[in-house]
Amino acid sequence: MPPTAQTYAYLRPSAVHGTAAGDTLSLQTSGGITPAGRAAHPRFFTGFLTAPRIAASGLLCVADIAAARYYRPERIASLDPVVTGNGDRLRFESFSGCCGVYARLDLLGEALDGDDIGHGTTNVDVNTPLSDALNRVGPGDPLHLEVGPDDLTVTTFDGPVVEKKVPLPDRWLRGFAETQVVASGFDLRAELSPADAVRFLRSLPRPGARGASRGALWAVPAGRTLRTTARAVPGAVCLAGPERLTVLTRVLRHATGLRIHGPAVTAGSGPVASAWEVLLPGMRLTLTLSPDAARGFSGEGGVLDALASEESADDAELVSVLLSWEPTVDVAELAAQSGLTAERVRAALTRLGTAGRIGYDVAEAAYFHRELPYDTKRAERDNPRLRAARALVEAGAVRLDGDGPATVTVDDHVHRVRSAGGLLTCTCRWWAEYRGGRGPCTHALAVGIARRAG
């Protein structure tokens, strides 16, 4: 399926403007969603950055990821970062073009000195002249920040003066959905001081002439620092494609610490995702890495069970009404308000995440609300495994045998699907290769759909 075109329409290019009172960083916004509904050019904040040079470096990191491809790097990709106002902070997010790295810069209240922070989500224009200007921001330079046009009443009658049309791959949209599911299974595994963080990150392999490295490293806590091994051990964090952390060199001099997050692993575990959170004064910069530089988040399959459930669709409608742009989503409170169990609320949030409406912050171990202007049905409609599973059910290829193994017939192949410890296993090649590490296979999905329908 060819990618659709995403159009970013801005009143003017983002820029750093010099004034008598100092420089102003004017970030122009495209169409987005606010509590009042859709807005052509929403305005979220105007005020001063308390640490302008550090904020400029963090924004450049997010922009670098948006313009990068770590797999097949010869293909250029550039998607404008997303900004969300949550009332007490601004979140800037981007994905690499290969969908294997997710970046987010959180400007917390301590980093912002100005008007109230608005609520909503939009794209922001980051262009080459702006990047050059941000690189020139000095440590003592005051910097005023505007997120949104400074005077809509004067400038909107001429319509957009800057327009970008870029291909928007379906897998990039699915990546937003999958990262919040993956990250919600992370725990804090290690925390390094600034000096130890710098030493560790500078010791990692540099990018080779041919791009991504082969294989994955594992970072293991060792005293106050980390050591790397070639195999998983309990307590280790996977570091696949270590060259993907090179972008952090922009902010290392300002770091006050480094936190590393990942799922629990055992000896012999295969590669998994991880999150690398750099602590900055009043800010956090987090990179979430896929399990392999050649493997984007879009194929992880963590959302498929929620998408296949009609119950989660109804629950998601109810939960969506209760979301209110809070910086953290309280699952227990949503459960109390909706009358659903916490498990069903999480499934509903997973489903809402497929439209980009939910993210996950590993620093606070909590979901957060955003609203991307994408079709809420698109992730479900365009997911190949889910489409194939529904087609098998409709074709009568699934035969259930009570609580015993189910049979799925595909052409002249017969697959057996069994339940083991709450997980559906299958005799197909997909299950043999991934063992559930990339979500359920098509046959297990089809069995789940058929059982719920029965």
Q: What sections of 89-232 are H helices per DSSP?
A: 128-135, 152-155, 170-183, 194-203
Residues forming beta bridges with residue 368, ordered by sequence position: 359
Q: How many CB atoms lie within 10 A of CB 369?
A: 22
What percent of the chain shows pLDDT beyond 90?
42
d(CA 427, CA 418): 9
231 or 173, higher pLDDT: 231
pLDDT-based confidence at residue 53 (cuts at 50, 70, 90): very high
Q: What pLDDT sits at residue 448? A: 86
Answer whether residue 337 shows pLDDT above 70: yes
Q: Helix, strand or coil for residue 252?
A: helix
Position 50 scores a pLDDT of 94
- Which pLDDT value is given to residue 211? 45
Q: Which residues contact 432 (CB under 8 A, 6 or more apart)?
A: none
Residue that has been written with the tokens 């001429």 in this structure? 158
> Regarding predicted confidence, which is higher, 116 or 278?
278
Asked if residue 374 has pLDDT above 80, the reply is no
pLDDT at 279: 97
Structure tokens at 367: 């979901």
The one-character DSSP state at 81 is P
Kindly indicate the confidence band of residue 160, based on its pLDDT and cuts at 50, 70 and 90: low
pLDDT at 31: 83
Q: Which residue has the tokens 């595994």?
A: 189
Q: Residue 114: which of 140, 87, 90, 144 has the closest Cα? A: 144
Look up tokens 């699934």; give the residue: 398
Domain boundaries, the chain: 4-170, 180-298, 304-358+366-379, 384-453
Burial 13-29 (b: 16+ CB within 10 A, else e): ebbbeeeeeebbbbbbb
| Class (C level, CATH) for 180-298 | alpha beta
pLDDT range class, residue 110, cuts 50, 70, 90:
very high
